[in-house]
Amino acid sequence: MSEIRSELGWSTPERITVRGKDLPGEILGTLNLGDMAFFELTGKFPNPKESRLFNAMAVTLVEHGVTPSALAARLTFLGAPEAMQAAVAAGLCGLGSVFVGSMQDCARLLSSGKSAQELMAENKRIPGLGHPLHKPVDPRTVRLFEIARETGYYGKYCRMMEEISTAKKLTLNATGAIGALACELGLDWRAVRGIGVMARAVGLVGHLLEESRQPMAEAVWHQIEEQASRHLRK
Amino acid sequence: MSEIRSELGWSTPERITVRGKDLPGEILGTLNLGDMAFFELTGKFPNPKESRLFNAMAVTLVEHGVTPSALAARLTFLGAPEAMQAAVAAGLCGLGSVFVGSMQDCARLLSSGKSAQELMAENKRIPGLGHPLHKPVDPRTVRLFEIARETGYYGKYCRMMEEISTAKKLTLNATGAIGALACELGLDWRAVRGIGVMARAVGLVGHLLEESRQPMAEAVWHQIEEQASRHLRK
Amino acid sequence: MSEIRSELGWSTPERITVRGKDLPGEILGTLNLGDMAFFELTGKFPNPKESRLFNAMAVTLVEHGVTPSALAARLTFLGAPEAMQAAVAAGLCGLGSVFVGSMQDCARLLSSGKSAQELMAENKRIPGLGHPLHKPVDPRTVRLFEIARETGYYGKYCRMMEEISTAKKLTLNATGAIGALACELGLDWRAVRGIGVMARAVGLVGHLLEESRQPMAEAVWHQIEEQASRHLRK
Amino acid sequence: MSEIRSELGWSTPERITVRGKDLPGEILGTLNLGDMAFFELTGKFPNPKESRLFNAMAVTLVEHGVTPSALAARLTFLGAPEAMQAAVAAGLCGLGSVFVGSMQDCARLLSSGKSAQELMAENKRIPGLGHPLHKPVDPRTVRLFEIARETGYYGKYCRMMEEISTAKKLTLNATGAIGALACELGLDWRAVRGIGVMARAVGLVGHLLEESRQPMAEAVWHQIEEQASRHLRK
């Protein structure tokens, strides 16, 4: 069994240290929130190019409008407005295999060391491809790869995903682009779902603030309840 | 009952819009993750000074070491490593009245329009004061107020909290400082707990990545279980 | 600080003990699930009358159709069907002050030792009264009090709630009835919200099983998303 | 896309109906909490033998002492005592592939229609076998199969698991027994994890009530934090 040991943070009366850096002296005012996420995931401060690209990746995932996750958070807030943290938690619980998992699956596949040809031969379905609305191109992928080129991080993983997308005639969607870019940045594929989770936490807080000012959850509930039981009320 | 209506985001095949801005064209590469949070909470892009201060506030809240919230996330991950989002959710569920709520309570109190004297007369306990470890000063407060001065946001709410801290001889802790700074930035007090929630989501992903590489949850479990049932085993 | 100590359960290779009882030998086949809940909350096995009443109270709270909580669970399941436990968790997160809290508030008020007159004089709003649909009587209250009379547990707390309901001309709803009955059974008011939480966990599993066979979450999502963004698409 | 439609529950001012049954008239006082769970999962009232067996299965899963799940709930409650539902939710989030999933995997495997020989030939690992503490026999399995015999539900799935357990020289643990018994009762394997989830919700409420009276979470936190950062403090 493993030792009980963490490198992440500790404090004395005078000092607060995060991964070996002095929080007030070295981190506050120096790192933005995305940089801090990068630091949490990699243990090092991003350089300006890494900062620009990683922040763009995370920002892409913050807000997707009225998603199932945003609805779950709003419906939860309706019953427990005193526990906003639990409403965000409810919204996060659905970021599983269907919506956010594909990003991580994509990064895992790409980090296997295989070629695009090998990946296509071995996998019936490549994660990160296809989009119900954005076809033939996902405008987020275009922009993210543009930023990757500007910062020097457009590399072999991006090319592989573009090759597969072309061969399969499927949109390279934003989750596929982010999966590839995570590999370019050398991030652990196990952390990739986490980028989506933290970004959506930001977006869910936005939804709950809107819900507290301009609520929709109660109307959603009554509308759906009426539809769902209409056949029983006859 | 309210209308079902949200201003946050929507898409067409060619465009993805967040609060009226084009996501790829106007947001990606322009806003960092903290700026995006500010945009979600206020509907406007932060100027450079707002960006600097708001990011520092959010970054302060990301990582506090092995907290109850981090432990809950790690223990959850032990049982469901395939659902990292649920482990983050479990960690967030505890960000309630005891740890993160004080920040929002502080902002609500300060935004009531009353003076420091009135607040002290009316409230037995002022949130944002006192710290078990950091006394007489919380080094995060010192640094945040320094950044507030640099950016021109050190104002009446900061002064009020310092006045109360002096009168009560209690440390002005980081949650009190952030509560005051949220008021200086004109943020809705209802959004203030949300800053903590989103920031800790970032930190919890860091803990789970560490847990996946250097696990402690199983050791924690067995150690505590043994202690908790020792008196029954005699 | 408190000791790390729990009385709830422990095991040796040959024995599994729950609150001092042998699980296989004394509990399995003897207690039903509601009895086991009663045992967890009180430390004693219910007698047949307590069993009948407590089970009826818990069963009342299991299934309320397509509630906000059930919708949150279904929408979560849509994104993470591999993590059904997280979908139940999301559904539970909304059982806060608005829906389930009133039951506990009612029990707390009644256990204060004050008379109905005093409670009405002191409280603008008495929890457990009023119902949007079931008026003038909530048929669950009628039935629960009938079972209470049959089992000898219709007592002063039930009478107090009926007195207040009559005086205020408001339906005594099921949460008010259950709050009163919890007091009649001598349950700790702090455990009363928990009866709702465990009961709804049962109901949410039912919803998720239905969702896996006859899904509605995706249709809900698309319908609401379309409505919520209609004004932006013009 | 599917229709928005549910069969579970609906109400009029006079009636409250759950799956076609009148809640006050036909369910309350008739079904215990385990029976109600059976009704939610199958759409039919259990007969006395089904009731006895199903309740024993669910009760087995309620309380396992100070588990990771119970610890996560307690640590969450420490930060948000006003949101007990969220603490239960946090505890449930960890009931994934490692602890509760094996029960469902076992039921799925058994319901494939294959023989014990075929299952062993095809699967390196059979879920429901092995236990770190209870060997060579899990006393819960012994008791559950005894109740199964008494009620006439000891059948081919139980025999298959016993055959595999003997062949592999591994304890048939309680999750394996419950997986087999769920098949004997004709339950949908997709509902099997749900039995664990609902049962543990009951147990977690018990832990939180104990935590509110005899807290351990704060002591756990400080003890583990100190251990985890000891190497950094030198």
Per residue, the 3-state secondary structure of B202-221, as one string, reads HHHHHHHHHHHHCCCHHHHH
The ipTM estimated for the assembled molecules is 0.96
Rounded Cα gap, residues B36 and B22, in angstroms: 13
Confidence band of C2 (pLDDT split at 50, 70, 90): low
Minimum Cα–Cα distance from B82: chain A residue: A96
Confidence band of A73 (pLDDT split at 50, 70, 90): very high
Q: Which two structure tokens, joined as six digits, stand for D96?
A: 């994934």
| Subunits adjacent to chain A (3 or more Cβ pairs under 8 Å) | B, C, D
Q: Is the pLDDT of residue C43 over 60?
A: yes
Contact A97/C81, CB-based, under 8 Å? yes
Rounded Cα gap, residues B129 and B165, in angstroms: 7
Task: For residue B185, give every residue at least 6 positions away whose Cβ sits within 8 Å of its Cβ, in sequence order, or none.
Answer: B50, B53, B54, B153
Exposure b/e, A75-114, CB count within 10 A at least 16 = b: bbbbbbbbbbbbbbbbbbbbbbbbbbbbbbbbbbbbbeee
Q: Is C93 helix (H, G, I), strand (E, B) or coil?
A: helix
pLDDT given for residue C21 in this prediction = 96
Label the pairing between strands D9-11 and C21-22: unpaired
Give me the residue from B71, B82, B228 closest to D224, CB to CB.
Answer: B71
* % pLDDT > 70, chain C: 99
B228 touching chain C per CB within 8 A:
yes
- In order, the DSSP letters of A114-137 are --HHHHHHH-SS-TTB--SSS-S-
Q: Which two structure tokens, joined as six digits, stand for C18?
A: 């729950």
A206 touching chain C per CB within 8 A:
no
Bridge partners (DSSP) of residue B172 are B129
Q: Is the pLDDT of residue C9 over 90?
A: no
Task: For residue A124, give every residue at least 6 positions away whose Cβ sits within 8 Å of its Cβ, in sequence order, or none.
Answer: none
Give me the residue from D3, D9, D12 closest to C63, CB to CB.
Answer: D9
Residue D67 phi, psi dihedral angles, 5° rounding: -90, 170
Q: Hunting for tokens 């493993």 — which residue is that?
A: A2
Q: What is the DSSP letter of B172?
A: B
Cβ-based contacts of D200 with chain B (< 8 Å): none
Task: For residue D187, give every residue at least 6 positions away whose Cβ sits within 8 Å of its Cβ, in sequence order, or none.
Answer: D41, D42, D107
Give me the residue from B79, B80, B94 closest to D76, CB to CB.
Answer: B94
Rounded Cα gap, residues D194 and A227, in angstroms: 26
Q: Is the pLDDT of residue C11 over 90?
A: no
Q: Where are the beta strands (DSSP E) in D16-139?
A: 16-18, 21-22
Q: What is the DSSP letter of D169?
A: T
Confidence band of A134 (pLDDT split at 50, 70, 90): confident
Cβ-based contacts of B218 with chain D (< 8 Å): 68
Contact A228/D5, CB-based, under 8 Å? yes
Confidence band of D109 (pLDDT split at 50, 70, 90): very high
Q: Which two structure tokens, joined as six digits, stand for B23?
A: 């996501």
Contact D201/C206, CB-based, under 8 Å? no
Chain A interface test: which of C61, C63, C75 (most A C-beta within 10 Å): C75
A234 touching chain D per CB within 8 A:
no
pLDDT given for residue B2 in this prediction = 63
Average pLDDT score, chain C: 94
Cβ-based contacts of C88 with chain D (< 8 Å): 89, 92, 194, 197-198, 201
pLDDT given for residue C49 in this prediction = 98
User: D101 with D192: CB under 8 angstroms?
Assistant: no
Amino acid letter, residue A90: A
Q: Which two structure tokens, joined as six digits, stand for A179?
A: 């999966």
Confidence band of A124 (pLDDT split at 50, 70, 90): confident
Q: Is the pLDDT of residue C44 over 80?
A: yes
Give tens-digit pLDDT for C189-202.
Answer: 989 999 999 999 99
Q: What is the mean pLDDT of residues C155-175?
A: 96
* % pLDDT > 70, chain B: 99
- 3-state SS of C64-87? CCCCHHHHHHHHHHHHCCCCHHHH
Give tens-digit pLDDT for B159-169.
Answer: 999 999 999 99
Residue C136 vs residue A156, higher pLDDT: A156
Give tens-digit pLDDT for A88-115.
Answer: 999 999 999 988 888 999 999 999 999 9
* pTM for the full predicted model: 0.96
Ordered alpha helix ranges (H), chain C: 33-42, 48-60, 68-79, 84-93, 101-110, 116-122, 139-151, 156-168, 174-184, 192-213, 217-233
Confidence band of C99 (pLDDT split at 50, 70, 90): confident
Contact C6/B83, CB-based, under 8 Å? no
B2 touching chain C per CB within 8 A:
no
Give tens-digit pLDDT for A186-218.
Answer: 999 989 999 999 999 999 999 999 999 999 999
Q: What is the mean pLDDT of residues C10-39?
A: 93
Label the pairing between strands B9-11 and B16-18: antiparallel
Minimum Cα–Cα distance from A4: chain D residue: D228
Bridge partners (DSSP) of residue A129 are A172
Q: Is the pLDDT of residue B233 over 80?
A: no
Compute the CA torsion angle C99, C103, C105, C107 (nearest 10 deg). 180
Give me the residue from C6, C194, C216 closest to D65, CB to CB.
Answer: C6
* % pLDDT > 90, chain D: 85
Q: Hunting for tokens 């024993």 — which residue is that?
A: D56
Contact D10/A229, CB-based, under 8 Å? yes
Q: Is the pLDDT of residue A39 over 70?
A: yes
Average pLDDT score, chain A: 94
Q: Which two structure tokens, joined as six digits, stand for B91?
A: 């960690």
Task: For residue C125, give every residue at least 6 positions away whose Cβ sits within 8 Å of its Cβ, in sequence order, or none.
Answer: none
pLDDT given for residue C39 in this prediction = 97
Q: What is the mean pLDDT of residues A121-147?
A: 91
pLDDT given for residue B174 in this prediction = 95
pLDDT given for residue A1 in this prediction = 52
D231 touching chain A per CB within 8 A:
yes
B44 touching chain A per CB within 8 A:
no
Cβ-based contacts of D90 with chain A (< 8 Å): 89
Residue A234 vs residue B43, higher pLDDT: B43
User: A15 with B139: CB under 8 angstroms?
Assistant: yes
Contact A82/D86, CB-based, under 8 Å? no
Residue A136 vs residue C220, higher pLDDT: C220
Residues 119-158 of B with CB under 8 A from A: 133-135, 139-140, 142-144, 146-147, 150
A89 touching chain D per CB within 8 A:
yes
Confidence band of C13 (pLDDT split at 50, 70, 90): confident
Q: Is the pLDDT of residue D2 over 90?
A: no
pLDDT given for residue D100 in this prediction = 84
Cβ-based contacts of A89 with chain D (< 8 Å): 86, 89-90
Q: What is the mean pLDDT of residues D74-87?
A: 97
pLDDT given for residue B1 in this prediction = 52
CA-based nearest residue to C4, from D66, D204, D200, D203: D66
User: A201 with A207: CB under 8 angstroms?
Assistant: no
> Exposure of C169 by Cβ count < 10 A (0-12 exposed, 13-18 middle, 19+ buried)?
exposed
pLDDT given for residue A77 in this prediction = 98
Confidence band of D1 (pLDDT split at 50, 70, 90): low
Give me the residue from B83, B87, B96 closest to D79, CB to CB.
Answer: B96
Q: Is the pLDDT of residue D26 over 60?
A: yes
Q: Is the pLDDT of residue C1 over 60?
A: no
Rounded Cα gap, residues C91 and C211, in angstroms: 13
Amino acid letter, residue A167: A
Q: Is the pLDDT of residue B46 over 80?
A: yes
Q: Is the pLDDT of residue A234 over 70?
A: no
| Subunits adjacent to chain D (3 or more Cβ pairs under 8 Å) | A, B, C
Rounded Cα gap, residues D90 and B2, in angstroms: 31
Minimum Cα–Cα distance from D94: chain C residue: C85
Helices A84-93 and A192-213, axial angle in degrees (round to 10): 130
Q: Which two structure tokens, joined as six digits, stand for B72?
A: 């809950």
CA-based nearest residue to D54, from D66, D70, D71, D41: D41
Confidence band of A2 (pLDDT split at 50, 70, 90): low
Give tens-digit pLDDT for D138-152.
Answer: 999 999 999 999 999
